[in-house]
Amino acid sequence: MSDADELRALDARHLWHPFTQAGTAPPPLLITSAQGAKVTDSDGRQYLDLVSSWWVNLHGHAHPAIAAAIAEQAGRLEQVIFADHTHEPAIRLAAGVAALLPGDLDRVFYSDDGSTAIEVALKMAHQYWRNHGEERGRYIAFEGGYHGDTVGAMSAGKSSGYFSAWHDLLFPVEMVPFPATWDGDEAIEAKEARALAALEQALAAGPVAAVLIEPLVQGASGMRMCRPDFLRGLEQRVRAAGTLLILDEVMTGFGRTGADFACVKAGIQPDLVCLSKGLTGGFLPLSMTVARDQVWQAFLGQELERAFLHGHSYTANPLGCAAGLASLELLTAPACRARIKAIEAIHRARLTQLAERPDVARPRITGTIAAFDLVGDEGYGAAIAPRLKAAFRQRGLLLRPLGNVLYLLPPYCVEDADLHHAWDVIDEVLDGI
């Protein structure tokens, strides 16, 4: 038995893969290395990673600058309890991210992944009001929003369609419509007006702890995009109602939407922002919930109960923070900014062309994210998804359609020729399917 065969047999014997029905899924690809925008399997075949490995990778796999920063940090300080202690990578990364975020979003609470960043924000919002002498248990979120797989995050994302097995576990979160739009959408103003009216109505029904949204792009429910105008309208309503605005920028952060953050692109000022995925350039799990000064102030006092009594074993892990610092340096370099623009331009040219096909609907682009719907069966369980995935895999593309939604979300280092090739292959596969 070759090493690869032995590993595959052990995987089949011992592993439980995420979001996978092992009863029907083909065996997973055994990946042995990765470089730039490509991952390589045990047979030496390469695949262009057009999903940035679940939206985490920014600058390419095994980027030497990030790898070196982690190695250097591992030889100096790998981990230390973050209560009563602090360290340079956590401090510098917090200051670096705060400098890119708008206004006084200056106070960073670290946790482990996107889901925990959301749990932290929901809990902070709740306690913020309690510390002000009010009990506020109502949250508002958006239809189709996805915020992670822990119980609070599932509650806020329960309309995304992933959580029917656990509906009876979830706490109530009120849902308002999300005005998803695409190129040439003539009904968008009416949809936005309806969504804002529903939001106003929900806000008027009584005190709300917070409004939570994935700004500009709802990722997991099918790369559903909204206009910056809508977010500005939403911000006004949230301000008028005197509640907190939480942005889930777990996917949209760090350049994906063409700006450093979606809130910068939309010109809005949230009270809390959740960041993860690209935070470490895709190397290590780490997240942040970033709060405005007035949120932080509400937790100060003489009593322990006023403090935010929440934390995780690996809070502010130095290796993750070192990766984050190296990634931030790459992100803010002019070369990376130029790549982000180039990717958007290629997406624009190629999707405009592809959208002439009768089987392609709702073409949409925000920054480096391009998506469209395939006409026919809809939803995450659409039968076409596994067939498409297999056809792309055969042709060396790592693409994972969200049901009948096909999207590209490449690392910024992807080469123009490779990205063009991917669009060519998509056209060819759609011809054959």
Please give the residue ranges that form the binding site for ligand PLP (CB under 6 A): 113-115, 118, 146-148, 214, 219-220, 248, 250-251, 276
Nearer to ligand PLP, 203 or 274 (CB): 274
Nearer to ligand PLP, 192 or 214 (CB): 214
Least distance to ligand PLP, CB of residue 162, Å: 10
Nearer to ligand PLP, 214 or 373 (CB): 214
Nearer to ligand PLP, 148 or 228 (CB): 148
Least distance to ligand PLP, CB of residue 54, Å: 7
DSSP 251-268: TTTTTTTSSSSHHHHHT-
Nearer to ligand PLP, 55 or 412 (CB): 55
Least distance to ligand PLP, CB of residue 333, Å: 26
Residue 333: HSE in the Cβ half-sphere, 13 Å Cα cutoff: 13
Least distance to ligand PLP, CB of residue 89, Å: 20
Contact 30, 7 (CB under 8 A): yes
Largest CA distance in the chain: 68
Least distance to ligand PLP, CB of residue 62, Å: 21
Cα separation values, 387 from 28, 220, 382, 420, Å:
15, 19, 10, 22
Closest of 272, 301, 300, 19 to residue 161, by C-alpha: 19
**What is the enclosing helix (H) or strand (E) of 118?**
helix 114-131
Residue 147 to residue 153: CA distance in whole angstroms: 5
Q: Are strands 369-374 and 360-366 parallel, antiparallel or unpaired?
A: antiparallel
Closest of 16, 248, 291, 279 to residue 128, by C-alpha: 291
Least distance to ligand PLP, CB of residue 395, Å: 25
Structure tokens of 238?
């949230």
Structure tokens of 135?
């009990």
Nearer to ligand PLP, 131 or 157 (CB): 157
Q: Could you give the residue ranges of the DSSP H alpha helices within 205-285?
A: 228-241, 262-266
Q: What are the contacts of 197-203 at 24+ separation with CB within 8 A?
A: 199/140, 199/234, 199/237, 200/237, 202/140, 202/174, 202/176, 203/140, 203/237, 203/238, 203/240, 203/241, 203/243
Q: Name the residue number minimizing CB distance to ligand PLP.
A: 114
Nearer to ligand PLP, 214 or 260 (CB): 214
Structure tokens of 156?
């806020």
Name the E strands within 375-424. Answer: 397-398, 405-408
Nearer to ligand PLP, 273 or 291 (CB): 273
Least distance to ligand PLP, CB of residue 275, Å: 10
Least distance to ligand PLP, CB of residue 116, Å: 7
Least distance to ligand PLP, CB of residue 147, Å: 5
Structure tokens of 249?
């920028």
Nearer to ligand PLP, 369 or 429 (CB): 369
